Amino acid sequence: MYKYDNIDKTLVDQRVAQFRDQVTRRLNGTLTEEAFRPLRLQNGLYHQRHAYMLRVAIPYGLFNSKQLRTLANISEKYDRGYGHFTTRQNIQYNWVTLEDTPDILADLAKVEMHAIQTSGNCIRNITSDAFAGVAADEYVDTRPICELLRQWSTLHPEFAHLPRKFKFAVNGAKEDRTVMLCHDVGIELKKNVVGELTANIYAGGGMGRTPILGSLIKTELPWQLLPSYLTALLRVYNRFGRRDNLYKARIKILVKALGPEEFSRQVEGEWLHLQNSDDNFTQVEWDRVAKHFTKPPYKTLPMLTTEHILENVSEAEATAFTRWLERNVKPHQVPGYASVILSLKPHGTVAPGDATTAQMNAIADLADKFSFGELRSTHEQNLVLADVEQAELYELWQQAKKQNVALPNVGLLTDIIACPGGDFCSLANAKSLPIAKAIQERFDDLDYLFDLGDISLNISGCINSCGHHHVGNIGVLGVDKDGEEWYQITLGGEQGNDTSIGKVIGPSFYADEIPDVITNVINTYVNHRSEDESFIQAYRRLGVAPFKEAAYQNAKKKEKADAKSAGESV
Amino acid sequence: MSDANSTPSSLVQSHDEVLVFPKGGNPSLTSNKWQVWNGSQDEGGLPALDLVSHGVLVPLVWWIEHHHEMDVIAKAKNGQIGVWFAADDDILKHAELIEAGKQYWPLVAAYFPLFRDGRSFSTAALLRERLGWTKEIRMIGDVLIDQLLQGARVGFDSFALRNDQDLGVALKQFDLYSVTTQNSWRDKRTLLDQTQ
């Protein structure tokens, strides 16, 4: 993985010093809270409901065991013994103090980490495929470009105060695991017919209040020209994006208002003047960065079949281990290796994506022992050991079980993406975590979950949609009605190559109704599915009607009961 | 797209002193010789320049309307008029006017209606990169200490800070970083510096 050179080291150290000075000025009152707010946000420091929250960058989700141990130490020393992995592949701490933050950043800098631009109206941490460099379906390893873009965007002066936050995702595999179309800019890397690395650019996607999928605005852009093209794109957005209304300030609104063709034309007009500038990447820079993303010292190994892998597994464990192989182990580019997803969604979990100090330290040990000391964080809030020998999968599974990170629920109904919700976040209208827990408790039967197959369920505590409910097959959105917490259901969302925005099925529900509603929706799928038909396929075939009817079957009874008890005619 | 903040009826009050940081030079403080005028607060037109020792920065929209008037041309030729751009002024649409202004204006300025409104960063970048403006560009409006570094890198070389800002702390902002990872008006990114 990428290793800082003197430039990176110096920059991150100087950033710590700059932020330390800003915190000092805030604490002595010479910097107002209003002026400090964007400064702290650009360093990942939020003020949440109860305390400060610090979001630490994990650029494109790649980190190592030493860094994870530092993250574990920080959780113990400055927080409450856990960290929370986010959908943008970052980790955040919920209980830090303003006073401690400069010291935390200094600790991070020692292991080549930082919190730069993990929040605020600037270019955010760039995300990518958690399996970049190892995925069997990959056509381009996105990591060198991601790293070059990380450097280009870090403390970019012109785009430090954009109309709103700005998120990049970079995909280079056949299957999109980045939700590319739901980003302000999606960069799809490909090789052209003569083998040159080029990018297709999608702009104007996003979730939140107005979910919109990105539009293709540029094809086959040579990789070297990404900085000049993206400068042109961001300059158009910076100058003409709306600033009068927070909810209409994202680039998706500008692209929609102008139309993708006109937006693209304006970007091209700007780019004409920039495309030959020395803003562009050079081969020297590529070489400097790409040498860190060479393959680890893989052994020459035979490709093992599942039968081989199961050879020495006891009968008592065979079923559970096979389940884990099916759900949590992914194919690899190199024979004899596999990638393993460690589930941070054990049933009854406090919060999807949480890892305790002890778990983080233990997972760092697993990375050292089984995967060249490297890790990935995923969009789905799990962790990945990307380079595991197939022959060691059984041993890894046994050790992962001891840490409660081996539940074979990856991609299943209980692999829930959820935001922190009203328990932590001051923006939230409703809680998310108890809903996630209640659903996991309701669907605690692994046999049943296995039978249901791939289903994504995403929960957001407010319209900002940090839990990405729009792209869940089943989405749950917390809404506020007259000071009460209600939950709205969307169906039909999907991430991946057929990324779709789910549709709201109707009026919202009470929190305690949600497990029943989900059960009814799931039962509808089970009752109507054809053989091998996934939930989303069945939904697309059947349409919303049967699911909607099932979802409201109890609600109707309840309405009637309420009406009767109130003495009204039904 | 217009919004009320971009063309303020009353301007943010700046310090008496202005911070100057020429490209290739050192930051220092100097007395402010330019009054920022919003184009309407004096009903009689331009402030009475004869009575004051400084020049006046007029809004672009005012210049567009009045730059053919004899007394305006006279004052401009005398180096007493500069132009400031509102955050929503599309300066590229007025490239010819700005080209012509190069012969009169000793400086131009770009206005920050709110410190976290970054539109004028792009204005400065375009003035330097595209329109070939080589003289002073001043950051005016809601200019706070922690926006100076970005301003200095995109093309500003003078800074009229909001009047509650500590100029001593402001002066120290420009040497916080010895490396950069992208090009700017002031520096090439550190790697390019080393390889070229």
ipTM of the complex: 0.94
Contact list, A25 vs chain B (CB under 8 Å): 169
Q: A161–B195: do the CB atoms touch at under 8 Å?
A: no
pLDDT digits (tens, 9 = 90+) for B137-161: 999 999 999 999 999 999 999 999 9
- A89/A386 Cα distance (integer angstroms): 15
* The CA-based dihedral angle spanning residues A267, A271, A273, A274, taken in that order and rounded to the nearest 10 degrees: 140
Cβ–Cβ < 8 Å for A201, A186: yes
CA distance A311 to A300: 20
B183–A14 C-beta distance less than 8 A: no
Q: Which two tokens stand for residue A492?
A: 């039909």
The secondary structure of residue A98, as a DSSP letter, is T
**Strands A509-510 and A329-331, bridge-based pairing:** unpaired
Nearest-Cα residue of chain A relative to residue B92 = A270
Interface-testing mutation among A2, A7, A116, A251, with chain B (most B C-beta atoms within 10 A): A7
CA A447 – CA A460 distance, rounded (Å): 27
**Which positions in chain B touch A30 (Cβ < 8 Å)?**
166, 169
C-beta atoms of A243 and B3 within 8 A: yes
pLDDT tens digits, chain A, 570 residues: what are they? Answer: 999 999 999 999 999 999 999 999 999 999 999 999 999 999 999 998 889 999 999 999 999 999 999 999 999 999 999 999 999 999 999 999 999 999 999 999 999 999 999 999 999 999 999 999 999 999 999 999 999 999 999 999 999 999 999 999 999 999 999 999 999 999 999 999 999 999 999 999 999 999 999 999 999 999 999 999 999 999 999 999 999 999 999 999 999 999 999 999 999 999 999 999 999 999 999 999 999 999 999 999 999 999 999 998 999 999 999 999 999 999 999 999 999 999 999 998 889 999 999 999 999 999 999 999 999 999 999 999 999 999 999 999 999 999 999 999 999 999 999 999 998 888 899 999 999 999 999 999 999 999 999 999 999 999 999 999 999 999 999 999 888 999 999 999 999 999 999 999 999 999 999 999 999 999 999 999 999 999 999 999 999 999 999 999 977 556 655 555 554 443
Nearest CA in chain B to A151: B181
- Sequence-separated (6 or more) residues with CB below 8 Å from residue A99: A23, A27
Return the amino acid letter for B17. E
Q: B6 pLDDT exceeds 80?
A: no
User: Is there a contact between B121 and A244 if contact means CB atoms under 8 Å apart?
Assistant: no
As a whole number of angstroms, the distance between CA A534 and CA A36 comes to 49
Record: contact B118-A11, CB cut-off 8 A: no
pLDDT of B46: 79
Taking CB atoms and an 8 Å limit, are B183 and A278 in contact across chains?
A: yes
Chain B residue closest in CA terms to A237: B119
Three-state DSSP class for residue A415: coil
Residue B139's H or E segment, with its range, is: strand B136-141
Separation of alpha carbons A88 and A417, rounded Å: 11
Of A460, A453, A366, A372, residue with least CA distance to A416: A460
| pLDDT level of residue B3 (50, 70, 90 thresholds) | very low
Which pLDDT does position A554 carry in this prediction? Answer: 78
A93 to chain B nearest CA, in Å? 26
**Mean pLDDT across B176-186:** 96
- Between chains, do B90 and A157 touch, taking CB under 8 Å as contact? no
Please give the sequence-ordered ranges of beta strands (E in DSSP) within A274-322, or none if there are none.
none
Does residue B2 register a pLDDT over 50? no
* A161, A162, A272, best to mutate vs chain B, most B CBs in 10 Å: A161
Which residues of chain A neighbour B184 with C-beta distances below 8 Å? 157-158
Q: Cα separation of A138 and A188, whole Å?
A: 12
pLDDT of B172 strictly over 90: yes
Cβ within 8 Å of residue A359, ≥6 positions away: A403, A404, A405
pLDDT at B195 over 70: no
Which of A32, A167, A59 has the alpha carbon at shortest distance from B181?
A59
Whole-prediction pTM value? 0.95
Residue of chain B with shortest Cα separation from A284: B195
Beta-carbon count within 10 A of A277 CB:
13
Q: What is the pLDDT of residue A50?
A: 85
Show residues of chain B in contact with A226, CB under 8 Å: none
pLDDT at A403: 97
Q: Which residues in chain B have their CB less than 8 angstroms from residue A161's CB?
A: 115-118, 121, 147, 150
Q: Nearest CA to CA, how far is A262 from chain B (Å)?
A: 16
CB pairs under 8 A between A and B: 108
Contact criterion met (CB below 8 Å) for A457 and A416? yes
Helix ranges (H only) for A335-432 are 357-370, 393-402
Indicate the pLDDT class of residue B40, thresholds 50, 70 and 90: confident
If pLDDT is split at 50, 70 and 90, which confidence band does B43 have?
low
Q: Inspect the interface and report whether the beta carbons of B191 and A288 lie closer than 8 Å.
A: yes
| Chain A residues inside the 8 Å CB shell of B137 | none
